[in-house]
Chain A
Amino acid sequence: MANFPEIITLIGVNHKTASLELRERLACNAGYDEPLAALSKLTSLREYYLLSTCNRVEIAFVSTEPERARADILEALFAPAVTAEELEPHIYHYGQSAAVEHLFRVAASLDSMVVGEAQILGQLKEAYRVAAKAGGTRLILNKLLHKSFSVAKRVRTETRIGASAVSISYAAVELGRKIFGDLTNKHALLIGAGEMAELAAEHLLGNGIASIVVANRTLARAVNLARRFNGKAVALAELQEQLQHADVIISSTGAAELILRKEDVRRVMRSRRNRPLFFIDIAVPRDLDPAINELDNVYLYDIDDLQGVVELNRADRDREAIKAGRIIAEEVLKFEYWLENMASTPTIIQLRTMIEDIVLTEVEKSAGRIGAVSDAQLQALEKMALAITSRMLYHPLKYLKEEHHCLTLEERISMVRSIFELDDASRPAPTGDTLHA
């Protein structure tokens, strides 16, 4: 086990490398439980976590044999639906600090389709919660993910990347303005009551939309959401009738098949007297028939299309992205430092140095208080103090150096480090000289 170094690896596909269609097939629609159970059976993985959103599917893992682990994962998660050969050209693969950096970028929403949108952090936290519960994450990934949350928070507070509210909903509002001119007398219909729909609704309301209706399979959730927006809740079965009144429709259900087809919308357009309809499909897999866009006065955008809209005012955000990139680079360095210290030798050195420092300082102080002390006496005092130190450190060091029957090396290191507070940043890192001390 200890022969090979453990490596953090992150593999996945996102909106830049894979088409919506491929992402639809990879997405874990039934929740994380099943894929996580599949991952837990892989012996090549020491730690793992899985994130699946409509824009990305990513697996971060710790393993001593990353190549074998990667093949195992692709086989275990996607094998029947998507073969490894098919997937290969779309996958990105990051190791060690590149993986850390990527995860930080994802958490800080720099890698999002809509840079700066806040949904991703919530999705990441949820993915982590489930993975931790399933026992997938341990020392390294726990630290890495917790760190990524704080990095995201730092980026959010120190840059304006989130403040410009660039998100799917922003893109939707922009387009809505180009179609309707003015949103104040328009009505929105949300199909599905997910988090994304909620954010979009908030944004639309902020831009003056007249009313919001929520249609959901489970009416209770629709009622809850509708209450928040002073809106109305309806059942999914009333969808056709609701289309008469709505102008902007945002669909984000978890349904596996299409919920609206071209014919359904064509029928509605006649009774709407051709007033325009603007559909936004943010569900993966898609809720709305792509052919709907072919109808006159009907505009359908899915999440990939919305990217084009957002790209328009990208220049403004580039500056902030550079600032955010610097924060991330800084945090990656800090994490690397932590990771290096996780090996046993630096911990032993650091522990020794720290204790010896304390002891010698105390000896000096006492010597000052005693008054006239000869050099020989001082040396004797120091010798005694160091002997006590060695005796006292004997067991903690042995604990670090020797195999333990039920705790892994990382867990032992982590325990010692936290007992002695060795990760306190105010203390200097051990340097090469101290090795011989």
Chain B
Amino acid sequence: MSFLLFQASFTLYFLAAAAYLVFFFSEKAAIRKNARLLFIVAFICHSITITARYFEAGYTPIATHHETVSFFAWGLGCGYLSFCWRYEVKNLGAFISLLVLALMTVAAFASRDLVSLPPLLQSAWLPLHASLSLLAYGFFAMAGVGGLMYLLQERTIKRKRFGLFYSRLPSLETLDKLNHHCLSVGFPLLTLGMITGSLWAKQALGTYWHWDPMETWTLVTWLLYAGLIHQRFTVGWRGRQAAWLSIFALVVALFTYWGVSVFFAGYHGKFS
């Protein structure tokens, strides 16, 4: 059942991304409305998929690689909808839907088998810790995408060559606001994710912090975002610097997420 639902969500995301791309090039307002509608339908279908899998598996489906990537994509969708609920960001949808589609493709190719959880993971902390962390990544990914858009638009305005992007990308101020929004939502989520993970570790393994590679790299990521937020609030870092750092931090975050489990062994790596 969840398999079919996943296929449906994937198809809907694909259609939404295609519609957003058509809007990007044609700039026809009617298409944009339809694209957003498609994206929302895809998101709802995706939410049902995750719920269905929860009942099939008997655990919160954020354990295997397929499940985490799928949840990451869902988190990104969450972040996007939460932002475009409040602000108008022209064509952010085109970028986000492509990224969501890419993540869903990765999830589609990962093994979709249901596993029986080892005793270590059979805990109420799992859904809490994993969902908080992945949601945080969703917001950070959006900050990174916003950063990329910012750099494209900033370059256009600085160099005074008005090509494909000038009219299609939103204003610099809006993109900077997006960065601010994502950081101020994503950072507390990541912090909470780390705290819950730490509490879980204390309960399951006896100590709060193990210097497991995943933990170390998460700490690096956390410090990077903390630094960025600090600079934003004190010195007024914004614009290009903030955009570059958001992109860099996202790369580190993605490395934490995928690279660490490939290169290092640790109790996090077993499943994700």
Contacts and interface: CB of A to CB of B under 8 A. Distances in A.
A177 B239 contact: no
Contacts of B235: 273-274
A276 B239 contact: yes
A242 interface: no
Contacts of A236: none
A181 B174 contact: yes
Nearest to A309: B162
A299 B158 CA distance: 6
Contacts of A272: 236
A296 B241 contact: yes
Contact of B157 (A175, A181, A274, A296): A175
A223 to B, nearest CB: 32
A388 to B, nearest CB: 74
Contacts of A301: 160
Given A178-B157, A309-B162, A276 B167 contact: no
Given A305-B160, A308-B161, A296 B172 contact: no
A288 to B, nearest CB: 15
Contact of A274 (B153, B158, B237): B237
Given A175-B157, A274-B238, A296-B239, A180 B166 contact: no
Nearest to A296: B240
Interface string B209-242: 0000000000000000000000000011111110
B171 A178 contact: yes
A179 B172 contact: yes
Nearest to A299: B157
A293 interface: yes
Nearest to A178: B171
A312 interface: yes
A161 to B, nearest CB: 22
Contacts of A274: 235-239
Nearest to A175: B157
Contact of A180 (B158, B160, B161, B171): B171
A195 B157 CA distance: 27
Task: Tell which of B166, B173, B240 has the most Cβ of chain A within 10 Å.
Answer: B173
B269 interface: no
B170 interface: yes
B238 A297 contact: yes
Given A273-B235, A276-B239, A312-B167, A182 B173 contact: yes
Interface string A142-180: 000000000000000000000000000000000101111
Contacts of A305: 160
Interface residues of A, number: 22
B173 to A, nearest CB: 4
Contacts of A177: 171
B6 to A, nearest CB: 38
Interface string B145-183: 000000001000110111000110011111001000000
A125 interface: no
Contacts of B171: 177-182
Interface in A277-317: 293, 296-297, 299, 301, 305, 308-309, 311-312
A275 interface: yes
Contact of B240 (A179, A182, A297, A311): A297
Nearest to A186: B173
Interface in B222-272: 235-241
A272 B238 CA distance: 12
A181 B173 contact: yes
B178 to A, nearest CB: 11
A297 B239 CA distance: 7
B173 A179 contact: yes
Task: Tell which of B157, B160, B173, B239 has the most Cβ of chain A within 10 Å.
Answer: B160
Contacts of B174: 181
A56 B237 CA distance: 42
Contacts of A296: 239-241
Nearest to A293: B158
Contacts of A175: 157
Contacts of B170: 181
B239 A178 contact: no
B115 to A, nearest CB: 48
B240 A275 contact: no
B166 A312 contact: yes
A305 B161 CA distance: 9
Nearest to B87: A181
A275 B236 CA distance: 8
Nearest to A312: B162
Contacts of A312: 162, 166-167
Contacts of A309: 162
A214 to B, nearest CB: 25
A178 B21 CA distance: 21
A11 to B, nearest CB: 31
A309 B156 CA distance: 11
A407 B236 CA distance: 75
Interface string B125-154: 000000000000000000000000000010
A305 B177 CA distance: 27
B236 A273 contact: yes
B246 to A, nearest CB: 15
Interface string A38-49: 000000000000
17 contacts: A175-B157, A177-B171, A181-B170, A181-B174, A272-B236, A273-B235, A273-B236, A275-B236, A276-B173, A293-B158, A296-B240, A297-B239, A297-B240, A299-B158, A301-B160, A311-B162, A312-B162
- Sort A-B residue pairs by CB-CB distance and give the 4 closest, nearest first: A273-B236, A181-B173, A181-B171, A274-B236
Given A274-B239, A296-B241, A312-B162, 13 more contacts: A178-B157, A180-B172, A181-B177, A182-B171, A182-B173, A275-B236, A276-B173, A276-B239, A296-B240, A297-B238, A299-B158, A305-B160, A308-B161
